[in-house]
Every structure is written in C-alpha cells, then in structure tokens.
Amino acid sequence: EAEVEAEVRLLLQEAQESIEAARSYRRELEQRLRGLHQAREQIRESATLTRDVLEQHFNDLKGTLKKLLDERLMSLLQEVDAIEQDSIKPLDECQKLIEHGVSTADELLREGESAVHGDVGPQNEKLCSFTKKALHIQLDSLPEVPSLVDVPCLSAQLDDCLLTILKNQIFSHGTVASRPPVQLEEFVEKPGGILVRWCKVDDDFLPQDYRLQYRKGTASHFEDVYVGSETEFIVLHIDPNVDYQFRVCARGDGRQEWSPWSIPQTGRTTLVPHEWTTGLEGYSLSSRRNIALRNDSQSCGVLYSKAPTYVCGQTLTFRQTVGQPDRRDSLGVCVEQQNGFDSLQRDKAVCISTNGAVFVNGKEMTNQLPAVTSGSTVTFDMEVVQLGPSSSEGGNFKLRVTISSNNREVVFDWVLDQCCVSLYFGCSFSYPGWKVLVF
C-alpha cells in the first residue's frame, strides 16, 4: 500500500507540474498573441498615418505647383502686354504724323485749285500765297514707315524638357520605409533624469544629425530635447516614478528633411534628483536646486547636497561655468557634512580643485587632472571593493574612485573606517561667478 501511495503521490506531483507547465505555456502563448495583435495594430496604424501624410503632402504640392504655374503665366502675359504697348506706341505716333500730313495736303490742294481757277485779278495774289505755302510745307519730306522685318513679331518659346524634368523629379520624389533608420536602444536611470541611447538600424543610412523628443505621459505633445550628432543624451528635470515617452529621428548627410520617427518607447527613473542644500549665504540656487551660483557674499564655506543621494555604482556629474580660481576651491563627495570647513580638502572626502589637483582625505595626489574649464564636466564614479569576508565591519572598507575631467581620468582606492555606499556631494569656491549644475 505504501508503494502504491508513493506512486500515486508521484503521479499527482507530475500531473500538478504538467498542469503548471500547461498554464505557463498558455500564458506565454497569450502573451505572444498580444504581441502579434500589437504588431498588427502598429502596422495598420502606421500604414494609415503614412497614407494620410502622403495624400496631404501631394495635395499641398498640387496646390503649390498650380499657384507657381499661374504666377509664371501671369508674368509672361504681362511681359507680352509690355512689349505690345512699347512696340505700338511709335507706330501710333507715326500714324498721327501721317494723318496730319494728309490733312495738310488736302487743305493745300483745295487752296491750289482755288488759286488756279480763280479770277485774273485776285488770281496772282492767291497763286503767290499758295506757292509760298507749298514751299514752306516741304512736300518732298515724307515720314519713315518701318518695314515688317523691323517690327516686333511676338512669340512664346516653351521648352518641353520642363515636363521631362518634372516627371523625373516627381517619379523619384518621396520614399516609403518599412521601418525608421534609427531606433531607441537603452534607458539608464539617473537622479532626476534619464540617459537615453539610440542606434542606427539601417546600414545604408548615413546620419548627420539626430533629433530626440520626449513628453510626460501620453497626454502632452512631444517637444525637442536634443539635436546633434551624439547617439546619447541625458534628459534632466525628470520627475521620479513617472512614465515619459521618447522618440528619435535622424537627418541624412547633406539632406534637409528629417527621417521618420522611431517607435515611441517609455522610460522612467526611480532615483530622486540631486539637490543642493538651501540656506548657505554664499550661494544662490535655481528653482529646482540642482544649480548653485557663488554670489558676491563674503561668506565662505562648503555647499553640501541636501541628502546623501549619491550611491556607489552611479555616475555623479558636475558641469560648471568658471569664475576666478583659487587653490582651495573644490568639487567632490564626502561621507558626512562637516561645518566649519571652507573646502572639501579634508578628511573623509575626495575632491578635485579647480586647478586640477586631486585630494583624498585632505592629501594632494601626485596625479593631476586638467584645470576645470567653462562648460566642461567633472564626473565621479565609485564602486565598492570587497576586502576579506566582512569588509563592512569597519577599518577596511574601500571604494574604487574614478574622477574624470576634460578627457582625462585618475583612478585610486579610497579607504574608509566605515561602510558607506551613500555619500554627500559638495563644492566650495572662494570667488563669485562660479556656477555648478549637478546631475
């Protein structure tokens, strides 16, 4: 009986496993059916949108082309009117001159006939007057009438090659692509931001510039956030735990028009944004408190972050506008806030001075980075280095630190006496004009 019960239990277990496998298999099939449905909807929606875009574009072209042709026709007709008027005007003047001559000749004929057939007494007087008048009129002077070969003969020269050019241009105008040449590739969470990466998926496409857009949720309109030649960009001012939609397109080398948009994808960050702490007299903060400006106050001190929001494994970035440098200036991270110091060049802190010197626990390293310049970035990357089975118990906790500035970097190990994976960041400047964005 025990063997039978064991066999039954085994069969029940196998049956239960088969049932679970069938359920899992059904779930996978249903998921694939949903994927097929989404793919079909994407094809149909994109095809409908493409038809609408093509029809609208070619209707616009028709209207523009008709307008241009009408304007050209009107210009040519006006040119014909101008030539006609300019050519007829001298002929009209010549006609008036001839008609005046005919009238004068008629009048002279009447006077001559009257003088010839008149009485003998007054006849001599009329003949003398007629003869003088005839000599004065210069009957041998005739106006010049242009020959037909000298008169304009208007015609229109219409080259049929325009139709050939238009035909070739129209037949090659526009293309239909089955997929955009660039697609979004990766979203990386940043404190208060998202690092967006994209890539080219069409080997024949030669990109010159990229254009990245985003929108909050799905209700708002897309807006430009980056245009340039890079294939990644950190989008800042992102609210944590909120979905944002992104899309990217590209402009081919030597082209003016943008390619079709990539398929919109959703990204989000769960990391709260880095913020400077408020209330330090020597610094003014932006509304989001991620930008600090060293003001004209004589007060000195270190401006710390609001909380220890820098976590090992992330990249902390400072981007600055420079002012007058001082050897005590500092940008860096620390274990805890310590008031009473005018620089991070102290114990339990690592930092870089604005002249490029690197300090670890207040001691200057031999290796040095380039001086901080306006618009450049300084980045801190840290990872925990395990020493022994329990490095977090004190005394031997080590962080591997990489500080980068102006395409150069230094790497060193920072030994601490306590486990610390969340750190404060801070800055200090002796003179006004320095402005630091942290992200």
Give the domain-ending residue among 208, 242, 269.
269
The verdict on residue 123 lying in a domain is no
What value does the mean pLDDT take over residues 393-411? Answer: 85
Which one has a higher pLDDT value, 362 or 204?
Answer: 362
Question: What is the rounded average pLDDT of the residues 50-62?
Answer: 94
Q: Show which of 107, 139, 154 is a domain's final residue.
A: 154
Tell me the pTM: 0.62
Taking the CB of residue 287, how many other CB atoms lie within 10 A of it? 6
pLDDT score for 57: 93
| Mean pLDDT within 257-270 | 92
Amino acid identity of residue 42, one-letter, is Q
What is the maximum alpha-carbon separation in the chain? Answer: 179
Give the model's pLDDT for residue 175.
81
Of the segments 57-66, 171-180, 297-306, which one has the largest average pLDDT value? 57-66
State mean pLDDT over 35-57. 92
Indicate whether 256 and 373 sit together in one domain: no
Q: Count CB neighbours of 210 within 10 A.
A: 22
Domain count, the chain: 3
In tens, the pLDDT along 58-104 reads 999 999 999 999 999 999 999 999 999 999 998 998 899 888 888 88
**Rounded Cα distance, 61 and 401, in Å:** 60
Angle ∠(168,174,178) on CA atoms, nearest 5: 135
Tell me the percentage of the chain whose pLDDT exceeds 70. 95
CATH number, domain containing residue 314: 2.60.120.920
Residue by residue, DSSP assigns 169-223 as HHHTS----SS-SEEEEEEEEETTEEEEEEEE--TT--EEEEEEEEEETTTSPPE
Q: Among 427, 431, 426, which Cα is nearest to 297's?
A: 431
250 and 205 in a common domain:
yes
The per-residue pLDDT for 220 is: 78
pLDDT digits (tens, 9 = 90+) for 239-262: 999 999 999 999 988 888 899 899
In a domain, 174, yes or no: no
Q: Say if CB 184 and CB 201 are below 8 A apart.
A: no
The pLDDT mean for the chain works out to 89
Q: Classify residue 172: in a domain, yes or no.
A: no
Above 80 in pLDDT, residue 386? no
Residue 305 lies in a domain: yes
- Asked whether the predicted pLDDT for residue 127 surpasses 80, the reply is no
For the residues 395-424, what does the mean pLDDT come to?
89
Q: Does 318 lie in the same domain as 425?
A: yes
Residue 389 pLDDT more than 60? no
Query: Are 261 and 301 found together in one domain?
Result: no
Q: How far apart are CA 101 and CA 109, in angstroms?
A: 12
Residues 291 and 260 in one domain: no
Query: How does DSSP classify residue 361?
Result: T
- pLDDT score of 394: 46
User: Are 150 and 17 within one domain?
Assistant: yes
pLDDT band at 387; cut points 50, 70, 90: low
The answer on pLDDT for 147 being more than 90 is no
- How many degrees, rounded to 5, is the angle at CA 53 between CA 49 and CA 58? 150
**167 in any annotated domain:** no
Query: For residue 377, which phi and psi values (nearest 5 degrees)?
Result: -120, 145
pLDDT class of 150 with cuts at 50, 70, 90: confident
Q: Which domain holds residue 250?
A: 182-269
> What pLDDT does 119 receive?
59
User: pLDDT (tens digit, 9 = 90+) per residue, 351-362?
Assistant: 999 999 999 999
Looking at the fold, whether 194 and 88 belong to one and the same domain comes out as: no
Contacts of residue 292, Cβ cutoff 8 Å, sequence gap at least 6: 276, 283, 284, 285, 286, 303, 427, 435, 436, 438
Q: Are residues 83 and 225 in the same domain?
A: no
Does one domain contain both 364 and 413?
yes
The confidence band for 204, taking pLDDT boundaries of 50, 70 and 90, is confident
Quickly state the pLDDT bin for 393 (edges 50, 70, 90): very low
Same domain, 291 and 265: no
Which tokens hold the place of 181?
């040449």
Residue 203 lies in a domain: yes
Q: In terms of domains, do 242 and 350 share one?
A: no
- The residue among 199, 109, 184, 93 whose CA lies nearest residue 146 is 93
In a domain, 420, yes or no: yes
Sheet with 315-321: list strands edge to edge.
Answer: 283-285, 291-294, 435-438, 315-321, 377-385, 397-405, 408-416
Residue 160 belongs to some domain of the structure: no
Cα separation, 402 vs 383, whole angstroms: 9
Mean local confidence (pLDDT), 382-390:
69
Pair 192, 319 in one domain = no
Q: Are 291 and 435 in contact (CB under 8 A)?
A: yes
In this structure, what CATH number is given to the domain that contains residue 234? 2.60.40.10
Query: Which of 236, 269, 302 is the last residue in one of the domains?
Result: 269
Does 392 score more than 50 pLDDT? no
Least confident of 12-26, 40-54, 129-143, 312-326: 129-143
